[in-house]
Amino acid sequence: MIGLEFLILGLDFPQFIELVLKVLIFPGLAFPLLFAIIVIWFERKFLARIMLRIGPLHIGPFNRTGLLQPIADFIKLIQKEIIVPDNAHKLIYNLAPIMAALVASLSVAFIPYAPKPGGGYWMIFYTPFSLLVILAIFTARPFIIIAAGWASNSKYCTIGALRAALQLLSYEVPLALSLASIVIMSGTFDLAKIVEAQSSIWFIILQPIGFIVVLIGMMTEIARRPFDIPFAEQEVVFGWPTEYTGTQFALIMVSEYFDLCAVTSLITVFFLGGWSGPAIPLLNDISPILSGIFWFLLKMAILTVIIIMGRGIFPRVRIDQLLDAGWTIGIPLAILQISITLLTAQWWLPLVRGG
C-alpha cells in the first residue's frame, strides 16, 4: 500500500521519501521528542550544577551522567494509572493533554530549518503566511489550558488555568507588536523570506529592543521561570495540570518542551538569521541542508541555555507585576521598536532588501 500513497498525494517517489523524512524525523515527530529528552536531561544536569547538586547520576551509558534518566522517567509515567477526578468533565479532561501536545508540536511544521539546493526550504508545509499561522496557533493555547483547568474541577487547577490564560493573552500583544516590526523590516509574512532578509545582517543587531521583548514574551508564553506563574508550586501546587497523572502528565510535560523547541526555533528565525552561517566542510559535502540545520540547531541550543538559566537565577514574579510589566513596559517598548524601525528605514533598507 505504501507504494501507492505517494501517487495519491501527487508526489513522485523521491518527493515522497523527503516528505516522510520531514514528517517523521526532522523537523517532524522525532526531532521535538529528541529535543525534549535532551533538554530535560540537560536542564536537570545544568541546574544541578548551578545549585551545587549532582543531578541525575545512574541511568545511562556513560559513567555518572544519568543520560537516560528522562527516558526512564517517561517509562515510569506511562506505567502509572490514569486517574480522572470524580467531578471532572471526562471528555475535555482526557482530550486536553492530547490537544496540548498536538498544538505545541504543530508550529514546528511551519518553520523553515534550511534551504534546499534546488530552491525551496526544508520544512513540512510551506505557506507564504507562516508567521500568521504561527500566531494563530499561539492563540489556541490559552483555551486548551482553560479547558484543562476547568475540566479538572479543582480549585488549584482553576486558579492556575486562569493565571495562565491571563498571562498568555496579555503577552500576545507585545509579542505581536514586536513581530510587526520584523514584518516591516523584511516586508513579508513568510518565515523563510524573513531568514533570507537577514543574509547580510541579523535582526538582533538592527532590533535589539524587539529581541528582548520577543524573548521575554516567548518565555512568558511557555511559562518558564521567572514567569512560570501558572505552575507556581508554592501557591497552586502545580497549576492547571495538577490533577493529571501517568501518560497524560507525561504528554503535558512533553508539550512544554515542544513549546520550548518551537519558541527557540522561532526566535532563531526572527532574530538570529536562521540557518545562515559559514558552510561546514564535512557536512556540506554530504548535503548543504545539513550545514544549514547545524547552524540552526546551534543557535537554538544557545537560546535554550539562556532560557533554562532563568530557572537558576531568578525568583518568580507575581502575576500582577507581570501583567503590569507587559502593559506598561512591553507594549511601549514594542511600539518604540516599530517607530525606530520606521524612522531609520533609509539606513537599513539597503542592508536588508539589497537596496
Partner 1 sequence: MSIMKLSIGPQHPISAHFRFLLDVDGDVVLKLEPDVGYTHRGIEKLAEKRTYLQNLPVIERVNSYCDSAGTMLGYLEVIEELMGLEVPERAKYLRVIAAELNRIASHLYAASLFSVATGLETMLMWPINDRELILDLLERLTGQRITYTYQTIGGVRFDMPDGFKEEALKRLDYLEKRTEDYYKMLLWNHTFHMRTKKVGILRPSDAIKLGVVGPNLRASGVKVDVRKDEPYEVYDRFDFSIPTGKNGDSYDRLEVRFKEVGQSINILRQALKDIPKGPIKKWVPPIVPKGEAYTRVEAARGEFGYHLIGDGSMKPYRLKISPPSFRNLIALPHLCQNIPLADVPIIYISLDLIPMDVDR
Residue 12's region, left for phi above 0, alpha for psi from -120 to 50, else beta, is beta
Check if the beta carbon of residue 50 is closer than 8 Å to that of residue 312: yes
CB atoms within 10 A of CB 256: 22
Q: Using only C-alpha atoms, what is the Rg of the chain?
A: 21
Closest approach of Cβ 99 to partner 1, in Å?
27
Give me the residue label for grid cell 554530504: 286
Cell of 231: 505552575
Closest approach of Cβ 51 to partner 1, in Å?
4
Name residue 121's beta-bridge partners.
115
Report how far residue 297's alpha carbon sits from residue 225's, in angstroms, rounded to the nearest whole number: 23
Closest to partner 1 by CB, 94 vs 153, is: 153
What residues make contact with partner 1 under the rule CB under 8 A? 47, 50-53, 155, 159, 225-226, 228-229, 232-235, 237, 311-321
CB within 8 Å of 13: residues ≥ 6 apart: 6
Closest approach of Cβ 50 to partner 1, in Å?
6
Closest to partner 1 by CB, 299 vs 316, is: 316
Give me the residue label for grid cell 508564553: 221
* DSSP category for residue 115: B
Closest approach of Cβ 212 to partner 1, in Å?
15
Check if the beta carbon of residue 66 is closer than 8 Å to that of residue 45: yes
Closest approach of Cβ 155 to partner 1, in Å?
6
- Positive or negative, the CA dihedral 270, 276, 282, 286 is positive
Please, what is the Cα angle at 275 between 270 and 276, to 5 degrees?
Answer: 95
SS3 (DSSP) at 121? strand
Closest approach of Cβ 209 to partner 1, in Å?
19
Total residues found in the chain within this entry: 355
Closest to partner 1 by CB, 47 vs 290, is: 47
CB atoms within 10 A of CB 201: 13
SS3 (DSSP) at 138? helix
Query: Across 159-223, where does the E strand assignment appear?
Result: none
Closest to partner 1 by CB, 53 vs 353, is: 53
Closest to partner 1 by CB, 226 vs 246, is: 226
Closest approach of Cβ 236 to partner 1, in Å?
8
4 phi, psi to nearest 5 deg: -95, -25
Closest to partner 1 by CB, 69 vs 154, is: 154
Closest approach of Cβ 141 to partner 1, in Å?
21
Alpha-helical runs (H) found in 107-154: 130-152
Closest to partner 1 by CB, 319 vs 331, is: 319
Closest approach of Cβ 160 to partner 1, in Å?
11
Closest to partner 1 by CB, 47 vs 173, is: 47
Closest to partner 1 by CB, 140 vs 237, is: 237
